[in-house]
Structure 1
Amino acid sequence: MNFSKELQQFHERLEEQNLGPLWASIHDLNTIEPKAKPIPYLWKRELIERNLEEAEHLLEVGNGLDRRALFLINPGMKDLKPVGWGGATQTLYAAVQAVRPGEVAPAHRHTTTAVRFVMKGQGAYGRVNGEKFAFEPGDYLITPTWTWHDHTNLGNETVYWMDCLDSPFTMYLNVCFTEFYPEKQQKLLVPDDYSTKRYQGGMIRPISDREPSIAPLGRYKWDFTKKGIEGLSQFAPDPYDGFAMEYINPSNGKDANDRIGARMQMLPPKFSGKAHRHVHSNVYHVYKGSGYTIMNGVRFDWSEGDFFALPAWTWHEHVNVSAADEAWLFSTNDLPIMEAFGFERVEAYEENGGYQPIKEIFQPLI
């Protein structure tokens, strides 16, 4: 809209007085559809690992240093430092954490909720609210809001895992509280892997968990996840996501973690998914395999160890390029938040048989 010189000058005077003209900005506030500030983006494994290795030589965890983790900064949100700046999407922070043999990441708790996916390495353990869990590749572990948690590595090799927190969300709302435990590690209250052992039966639960609780199961073992998807793969794949399952809280049927959803999906050889979009955003980690994802017409090629961000309301489709090997994608999402507020919508791509034309190919930093 074109404004007269006098009206533009009036707008400038309003800004100096910390006031704003709705008539000049209403279409930016009430958009026809969501306009995500984060952008589709991909981080290569080689880049992350090279910098983490350098960090391993430069600093030691435990002596005044809580965590050795590199977080993913979405280029679309760099101007939001520090609020939102550390987010892979507008609500999700994602990082790769490395713990060397003998190190202890001290215990603390915060209102921000957190999840972890173990990428590689043996010998690490975590404690959550008095329970000790083994960390094995492929495991998914939760740290719901205000639960004590610490990590250690009792093995002989560095262990790497993905962290995902809703810190951009809690920081934006100014609701982040943190408390540090008086000792490096919290006291153990139950036997090791207590909740994991109680839920070995799969989709049956102890009668004591009939009443909903925030974390009746803290560790979701890779063997169980893989077995579940293998069972699902006996049938036709979902046209958009292949064979996908989400981690749930067995006491209430909702997402395993309180404000962050998580899924594991397997794309069979030569799978070419159709495109759709939804309001919730995702952060993907390529656990195994190689392929590409088209986001808003841009092709993002990925391979094992890579990460990529899928912002809200972004057209996307996944492709497994291998004719022989499966591709496994772990992802986190903010769907629990979107559903809680009634914001979630999903739309299928109707043109070209459901497949996006590729306009360009993303060139990642190496």
Structure 2
Amino acid sequence: MTSLGTLEDLPQSYRDKLTELNLVPLWPNMRAVLPHKVPSRKTQTLNWHFNDLRPLLIEAGDLTPMEKAERRVLVLANPGHGLTNMQATPSIYMGLQLILPGETAPNHRHTPNAVRIIIEGEGATTIVDGEPCVMERGDLILTPSGKWHEHQHEGDGPIIWLDILDLPLIYQLEGSWAIEGKAQNQTLKRDKSFAEYSAAGVVPELGFQRENTDSPMLRYPWAKTRDCLVEMAKHYPNSPLRIAYVNPENGASLFPSIGFGAMMLRPNETLSLPKRTTACVFHIVEGQGALSVDTNNVIQWTEKDTLSAPGYTEIILWNESSTEPAFIITADEAPLHRYLGIF
């Protein structure tokens, strides 16, 4: 590899002239932004253990009332990107959100796309443009860019979910903003997307990408997804059990920026994922096991944990139970990489 000139090779007077005109020489930084063969990666392999985080989230409920928070969230920040940047991967934000009984997270809308994965609790509803979406464990609930949404909790005990947004991407594009709105008092009498699309929304993960519009299905019930994976296991005893969440009307990913999927690991099963360009996050719905990245970075996981792993790596997952399957929801930047032609 050719050794390029450094900034120190240039006379100070020349460097001062460049600075005055807001100029920077490329060649001293060429290898940093265009490394050979494999990109530089800031995403670290990490597990946010739910049992460690839950007490702090509950304490936040005591320390900060809803009217002082708007959204009571602890951000899952990957230290490789800097904690203040609120990134789990280059373009994915994640946070654990808490609502207590009787509370409402007020109505607003914003430019980033968002998905909620329900972790704990019952009796809460997300209202999206007037459509009530019941929040049950493992469900995916969509609040696409620009849609009004609020969260109401009329049950007992706290409800906790995982927020996944393309906020870092939209923020870096200088397009991130929100608008507050009035409470959505007039709502539909049913969960429309569940009633009309309750048997749709998941397909085998084929790696295709079609033209994307907002999915008409806002709630993807975990019970349906789990049943699909269990049924697949009966017919494909030797194949990986993975599905993709898609728009039921056109087969496109839920968002053009983030793709979502789910997988099932049979008892004692080890699964080596295809090596891919995109970083990935894993939310454990059921089970316990381990994840390794490039064979030398092994971390344990159990249900309700959330993990991250960088792209361009060999990722292996295994289920440590000899009797029970494990179920995992995934999120990655594959739709964005495909659109950009770098997948």
Question: Quick check: TM above 0.5?
Answer: yes
Q: Does 1:113 align with 2:121?
A: no
Given residue 52 of structure 2, which amino acid in structure 1 is its aligned partner?
A: L
The residue number in structure 2 matching 1:13 is: 16
Q: In structure 1, what residue type is equivalent to 2:117?
A: F
2:311 aligned partner: 312
1:145–1:258: 8 Å Cα contact kept in structure 2? no
Task: Tell me which residue corresponds to 1:34.
Answer: 39
Distance in 2 between residues matched to 1:137 and 1:4, nearest whole Å: 55
Structure 2 residue aligned with 1:143: 143
% identity of equivalent residues: 28
Shift of 1:249: 0.5
Query: Aligned pair in 2 of structure 1 residues 291, 19: CA closer, same or farther (>3 Å)?
Result: same
Corresponding residue of 2:328:
329
What secondary structure, in the 3-state scheme, does the structure 2 residue paired with 1:277 have? coil
- Indicate the SS of the match to 2:10: helix
Q: 2-side partners of 1:54 and 1:200: how far apart? A: 36
- SS at the partner of 1:233? helix
**Structure 1 position 243, deviation (Å):** 1.1
RMSD: 2.2
Q: What is the CA deviation profile of residues 35-92 of structure 1, one whole-angstrom value per residue up to 9, with x for unaligned ones?
A: 212221111112210210111111121x24211111111111117x4xxx10111100
DSSP 3-state at the match of 1:27: helix
For residues 29 and 46 of structure 1, do their structure 2 counterparts lie closer, same or farther at Cα, with a shift above 3 Å needed? same
Distance in 1 (alpha carbons) for counterparts of 2:278 and 2:259: 10
Separation of aligned partners in 1, 2:7 and 2:247: 58
Aligned to 1:290: 288
1:57 to 2:56 alignment? no
Could you list the runs of 5+ residues in structure 1 that have no partner in the other structure?
205-210, 345-366
Report deviation, 1:175.
0.9
* Cα distance change, pair 142–258 in 1 and its aligned pair in 2 (3 A): farther
2:263 maps to amino acid: Q
Deviation for aligned residue 1:3: 5.0
- 1:247 is displaced (CA, Å) by 0.9
AA at the equivalent of 1:266: M
Query: How many pairs does the alignment contain?
Result: 328
Please report the TM-score for the alignment, with normalisation by the length of structure 1: 0.84
1:267-282 map, 5 Å? 267-274=265-272, 276-282=274-280
Change (3 A) 1:317 1:132: same
Distance 1:159 1:5 in 2: 56
Question: What are structure 2's unaligned runs of at least 5 residues?
Answer: 203-210
Q: How far is 1:256 from its partner? A: 2.4
Which residue number corresponds to residue 252 of structure 1? Answer: 250
CA contact (8 A) 2:265 2:326 kept: yes
Would the aligned equivalents of 2:212 and 2:256 in 1 still touch at CA under 8 Å?
A: no
Structure 1 residue 45 corresponds to structure 2 residue 50: yes
Q: Which residue of 2 aligns with 1:214?
A: 214
Match of residue 263 from structure 1: 261
Kept in 1: contact 2:93–2:164 (CA 8 A)? yes
Query: Which residue identity is paired with 1:96?
Result: L
Which of 12-21 and 89-98 deviates more? 12-21
